[in-house]
Homo-oligomer: A and B are copies of this chain.
Amino acid sequence: MTQQGAGHQHIVKAFSEELEHLAGDVATMGGLAESMVSDAVEAVVKRDGRLAEDVVERDKQVDTYHRDLERQIIRLLALRQPMATDLRSCIAALKISSDLERVGDLAKSIARRVRVLNRSEPVALTKSVERMARLVQSQLHEVLDAYATGEIERAVGVWERDDEVDEHYNSLFRELITYMMEDPKMIGAAAHLLFVAKNLERMGDHATNIAEDIHYVVTGKELTAERPRGPRPEAPE
Contact = CB atoms under 8 A, between A and B. Distances in A.
Contacts of A98: 95, 98
B74 A116 contact: no
Interface string A172-190: 0100110011001101100
Interface string A1-41: 01000000000000000000000000000000000000000
A215 interface: no
Number of copies: 2
Interface string A97-127: 0100000000011001101100000000000
A231 interface: yes
A191 B188 contact: no
Nearest to A235: B112
A69 interface: no
Nearest to A115: B235
Contacts of A140: none
A67 interface: yes
Q: Is the interface of A mostly helix, strand, loop or mixed?
A: helix
A194 B191 contact: yes
A83 B80 CA distance: 11
A237 interface: yes
Contacts of A112: 231-232, 234-235
A217 to B, nearest CB: 12
B192 A181 contact: no
Given A116-B235, A176-B191, A181-B184, 20 more contacts: A74-B88, A77-B77, A108-B232, A109-B232, A109-B235, A112-B234, A173-B191, A177-B187, A177-B191, A180-B180, A180-B184, A180-B187, A180-B191, A181-B185, A187-B187, A191-B191, A191-B194, A195-B198, A195-B234, A198-B198
A81 B86 CA distance: 13
A56 to B, nearest CB: 8
B222 A67 contact: yes
A150 to B, nearest CB: 19
A48 to B, nearest CB: 15
A194 B235 CA distance: 12
Given A177-B188, A234-B109, A235-B113, A87 B91 contact: no
A192 B78 contact: no
Contacts of A231: 112
